[in-house]
Amino acid sequence: MKNIFEKNKAVLKFLGIFIGSYLILASLYHWYLQVDLFENYYPDFITNLVAVQTENLIEFFGYSSKISPHPVEASMRLFVNNEYLVRIIEGCNSVSVLILFISFIAAFHTDFKRTFLFAIAGSVLIYIFNLLRIVWLAIGIYHYPEYEELLHGTIFPAIIYGTVFLLWIIWVRIVSKTKKDE
């Protein structure tokens, strides 16, 4: 048994850091959602920020846009050209995806500075792609409502998770090259 642990020490270390990081970050996020630190923002500060930024980006692309709190659910309703199209829920704010991304980066780490900078840069990129994903989804549904399920259920999740996967590959290459050079 000891031999198995010794042979797989790197894998077990990776899994321990990944799972530990994920649990800590997910717990902190869950706490944030429960505590409601920013009472003036509905349904929570980050989701509200994503909704406001989505509204502004849609306007930037030449469409009329409006958000409003959903009267029944914890979400923001998004209107494009006065047509209610989608709701932005907590799951749309990319935090869960960022937790997954950062946990992997932490588990497959190199020196602190490089790991920290890549986690920050990657998180910003994922956040921006997520905003664009919501904007394109809303505009896509506005023009092609018959493809809502395909757009929401397949194409746009592929964009966000594809971005995370590509960033992970880039990170593994950076870490592998760094360790090889040392």
Tell me the sheet residues that pair with 77.
68, 87
Q: What is the pTM of this model?
A: 0.92
pLDDT over 90, % of the chain: 85
Task: Please report, for residues 3, 83, 96, 119, 176, the alpha-carbon distance to residue 75 in angstroms, rounded to integers and kept in the order given.
Answer: 52, 17, 16, 28, 42
3-state secondary structure of 77: strand
CB atoms within 10 A of CB 176: 12
- Residue 88 pLDDT: 97
Q: Is a pLDDT exceeding 70 seen at residue 182?
A: no
Average model confidence (pLDDT) across the chain:
94
Angle at 95 between CA 17 and CA 40, to 5 degrees: 135
